[in-house]
Amino acid sequence: MQLGNHKKSKASIIFDWIGETIQQLLISCVFTRQVWFLILQRLNFDVVAPLTTNVHISSWWKKAIRGAPKEMLKGLNSFIILVSWEVWKHRNSCVFEGATPNVNLLLQTVGDECALCCMAGASKLNEFLMRSPAHRSQVLRPKGFLFLFGCVFFSLQPMELL
């Protein structure tokens, strides 16, 4: 299959099973639903993970923010945007560079970007990640550095709880 002057890789077809739309990419695709479920499960927000292809992204997003405490809304919105952006970039890497879709790599990338945003001063995102019910006040030591759990919760590298 051709996309402009770029030949689609076999791996990129995973993102194109019902036609490539922003709706399909960010919420309907099986790969993306798996990513959302794993991420939200780690934050103990899996009850709002998109589970069907029938739901529209705006409806799902509204449902997700309705289920969050008011003080976490800005952080949750930032988080949804960040994850969506990383899904978009991962998809582009698969389609245009021939990369293979990889859930673990995407989770690691989301975790790295969360950490960078938190270190750069994204205070509401940091509060959202720190207040997630499953991981309050846990501290991890990845590679000799101390971070609050929310900033590195997707790291796939060995960590130890202090």
3 — pLDDT class (breaks 50, 70, 90): very low
For residues 102 and 32, is the Cβ–Cβ distance under 8 A? no
pLDDT value of position 132: 67
The sign one gets for the Cα dihedral 39, 42, 48, 52 is positive
Domain locations in the chain as residue ranges: 2-152
Mean pLDDT of 19-26: 78
Distance CA 125, CA 118 (A): 7
50 — pLDDT class (breaks 50, 70, 90): confident
Q: pTM surpassing 0.95?
A: no
Mean pLDDT of 92-113: 93
Distance CA 3, CA 112 (A): 30
